[in-house]
């Protein structure tokens, strides 16, 4: 009860945008809440059926859906949303049980300035906090899922079991695979999703190879967060796209994170213009352009070299710090001036009582956002390269003599397999 009043109540009073949205009281024993934004999604029932087919966890589950649009949404979107609301309402009335209860909310005409997936996730996740407060459950778990995504049969039971076994965990991510029609690999959309997933796996493995401490996927349909961690970092943001990246990279530095490779989600591989970037937008662009390019792996090697110096920085004197800087790759020195580098290292040292604290603070400075800025900076100096070429070069670095594959789909399969053990 102390945590409810000390933590949950102030958060809801300051951060929640709406009063309670669900009139029905939650069942005692509620432990897990799945949050699903729904915007122009005719196939959302496939997602709900996937959830209800999961092995049942021991404790209670709620699934919250928010059908949403704004004043800028076209009439066809609004009509689809109305149909979807009717379909889900009928389905929920038949399929809700005490073990897994579904609640479908409808918010038409959200403020156009903020309407989007970030706002929808925030509304849902804040409502999840309110539900946990009602049942006095401080260790509740919030799962983020999308309305065009299905899940493995162990999804609900394994997430519950993990947080039960590791109650201090803050966040977990899951394995994912886009459904791919292997019988039609020449289809433009099929090629596009293969290339895009190849990019996602390339980026994650390359980042992991640098020694960066948070090399996790930041996909909106692929994570779960503890209620307390959600509150501690100020809740979900209202970004129209990229909300998952910004949110998760605020949570990871808290510690208590893991990638659960035995749980899988299967996001849609369709093209879309619902958000300016992400899977749907990327597939649409690749279909139009016919190719996909990315950062050369040499720049990830430069980051690896840079990060390898971090343990040395803590115990280094002024002259040694200057000497370290001169040993850094030219791309790093061009990106960070010697003055900025020395000032940052001195500042971090002054606020660190141990090497561990120093490393933590270092990666608060050179965080995921800084990594992206560096890679985009290098792109200004040298053009990006085709994703298949980048993957082959990365494979030569990480898995020498293990692959000479050049076709996108076999290369994707190779990366999927290697990622499970890397």
- Taking 70 as the threshold, does the pLDDT of residue 38 lie above it? yes
Q: What is the pLDDT of residue 291?
A: 74
Pick the range with the lowest mean pLDDT from 29-38, 233-242, 302-311, 356-365.
Answer: 233-242
Distances (CA, A) of 144 to 236, 364, 389: 11, 25, 33
At which of 282, 312, 329 does a domain end?
282
Q: What percent of the chain has pLDDT over 70?
A: 96
Res 277 pLDDT > 60: no
Q: Are 64 and 128 spatial neighbours (Cβ–Cβ below 8 Å)? A: yes
Say if residue 306 is in the same domain as residue 273: no
Q: Are 372 and 366 in contact (CB under 8 A)?
A: no
Helices (H), 4-116: 9-15, 44-52, 75-95
Output the domain CATH number for residue 218: 3.90.550.10
- Does residue 342 sit within a domain? yes
Position 77 in a domain: yes
User: Is residue 272 predicted with pLDDT exceeding 60?
Assistant: no
pLDDT at 273 over 70: no
Tell me whether residue 292 is in a domain.
Answer: no
Asked if pLDDT for residue 382 goes beyond 90, the answer is no
Q: Look up the domain containing 24 and give its range.
A: 2-282
Judgement on whether residues 190 and 333 belong to the same structural domain of the protein? no
Mean pLDDT of 318-333: 94
Is pLDDT at 403 greater than 70 in this prediction?
A: no
Distance, in Å, from the CA atom of 260 to the CA atom of 155, rounded to the nearest integer, reads: 10
Residue 413 lies in a domain: no
Contact 109, 69 (CB under 8 A): yes
Q: What is the mean pLDDT of the chain?
A: 92
Residue at 338 is within a domain: yes
Residues 328-340 have a mean pLDDT of 96
Average pLDDT over residues 237-253: 92
- Please tell me whether residues 170 and 307 are part of one structural domain: no
351 and 237 in a common domain: no
CA–CA distances in Å: residue 389 to residues 128, 189, 199, 302, 393? 44, 20, 11, 18, 6
Residues in the chain: 422
Q: How confident is the model at residue 264 (pLDDT cuts 50, 70, 90)?
A: very high
Domain end call among 253, 282, 311: 282
Q: Of 282, 306, 339, which closes a domain?
A: 282
Between 5 and 198, the higher pLDDT residue: 198
Is 410 within the bounds of a domain?
no
My answer on whether 331 and 212 are in the same domain is no
Residues 138 and 277 in one domain: yes
Categorize the per-residue pLDDT at 407 as very low, low, confident or very high, splitting at 50, 70 and 90.
confident
Report the pLDDT value the prediction gives residue 276, as an integer from 0 to 100: 45
Contact in structure between 233 and 254 (CB atoms under 8 Å): yes
Cα 124 to Cα 72: distance, rounded to the nearest angstrom: 21
Whether the per-residue pLDDT at 271 is higher than 60: the answer is no
Same domain, 85 and 170: yes
Q: What is the pLDDT of residue 278?
A: 57
Q: Which long-range contacts (CB under 8 A, 24 or more apart) does 399-408 make?
A: 408/191, 408/194, 408/195, 408/198
Answer yes or no: do 46 and 119 share one domain.
yes
Asked if pLDDT for residue 204 goes beyond 70, the answer is yes
Q: How many domains would you assign to the chain?
A: 2
Residue 279: per-residue pLDDT: 63
The listed range with the strongest mean pLDDT (2-11, 176-185, 199-208) is: 199-208
Q: Please tell me the distance from the alpha carbon of residue 162 to that of residue 402, in angstroms, as a whole number.
A: 33
Predicted local confidence at residue 201, as pLDDT: 96
Given pLDDT bands bounded at 50, 70 and 90, which one contains residue 419? confident
Both 23 and 63 in a single domain?
yes
User: Do 313 and 360 belong to one domain?
Assistant: yes
Measured CA to CA, the distance from residue 414 to residue 156 in angstroms comes to 28
Residue 289 lies in a domain: no
- Are both 263 and 332 inside the same structural domain? no
Residue 320 confidence (pLDDT): 93
Cβ pair 278, 196 in contact under 8 A: no
pLDDT digits (tens, 9 = 90+) for 129-164: 999 999 999 999 999 999 999 999 999 999 999 999
Contact in structure between 419 and 413 (CB atoms under 8 Å): no
Q: What was the pLDDT predicted at 372?
A: 95
Let me know if residue 405 belongs to a domain.
Answer: no
With pLDDT > 90 as the criterion, what percentage of the chain qualifies? 80
d(CA 231, CA 396): 42
Identify the band that residue 379 occupies on the pLDDT scale cut at 50, 70 and 90: confident
173/144 Cα distance (integer angstroms):
10
At 225 the three-state DSSP class reads strand
Kindly state whether residues 227 and 306 are assigned to the same domain.
no
């Amino acid at each position: 009860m102390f945590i409810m009043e000390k933590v949950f109540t102030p958060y809801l009073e300051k951060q929640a945008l709406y009063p309670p949205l669900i009139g029905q009281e939650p069942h005692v024993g509620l432990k897990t809440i799945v949050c699903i934004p729904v915007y122009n999604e005719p196939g959302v029932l496939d997602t709900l059926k996937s959830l209800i087919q999961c092995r049942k966890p021991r404790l209670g589950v709620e699934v919250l859906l928010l059908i949403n649009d704004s004043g800028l949404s076209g009439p066809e979107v609004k009509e689809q949303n109305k149909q979807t609301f009717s379909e889900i309402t009928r389905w929920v009335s038949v399929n809700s049980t005490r073990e897994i209860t579904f609640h479908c909310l409808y918010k038409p005409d959200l403020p156009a300035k903020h309407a989007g997936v970030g706002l929808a996730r925030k509304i849902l996740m804040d409502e999840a906090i309110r539900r946990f407060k009602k049942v006095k459950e401080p260790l509740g778990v919030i799962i983020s899922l999308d309305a065009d995504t299905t899940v493995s049969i162990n999804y609900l039971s394994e997430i519950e079991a993990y947080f039960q076994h590791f109650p201090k965990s803050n966040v977990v991510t899951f394995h994912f695979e886009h459904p791919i029609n292997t019988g039609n690999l020449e289809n433009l959309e099929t090629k596009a999703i293969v290339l895009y997933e190849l990019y996602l796996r390339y980026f994650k493995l390359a980042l992991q190879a640098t020694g960066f401490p948070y090399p996790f996927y930041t996909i909106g349909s692929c994570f779960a967060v503890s209620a307390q961690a959600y509150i501690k970092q100020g809740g979900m943001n209202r970004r129209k796209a990229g909300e998952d990246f910004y949110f998760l990279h605020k949570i990871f530095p808290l510690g208590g994170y893991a990638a659960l490779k035995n749980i899988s989600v299967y996001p849609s591989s369709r093209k879309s213009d619902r958000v300016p970037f992400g899977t749907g937008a990327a597939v649409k662009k690749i279909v139009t352009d016919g190719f996909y390019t990315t950062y050369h792996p040499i720049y990830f090697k430069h980051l690896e070299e840079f990060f390898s110096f971090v343990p040395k920085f803590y115990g280094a004197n002024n002259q040694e710090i200057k000497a370290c800087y001169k040993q850094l790759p030219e791309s790093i020195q061009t990106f960070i001036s010697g003055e900025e580098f020395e000032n940052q290292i001195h500042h971090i040292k002054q606020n660190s009582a141990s090497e561990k604290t120093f490393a933590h603070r270092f990666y608060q400075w050179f965080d995921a956002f800084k990594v992206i800025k560096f890679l985009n900076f290098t792109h200004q100096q040298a053009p990006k390269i085709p994703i298949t070429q980048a993957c082959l070069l990365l494979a030569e670095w990480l898995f020498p003599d293990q692959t000479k594959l050049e076709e996108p789909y076999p290369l994707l399969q190779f990366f999927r397999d290697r990622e499970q053990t890397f």
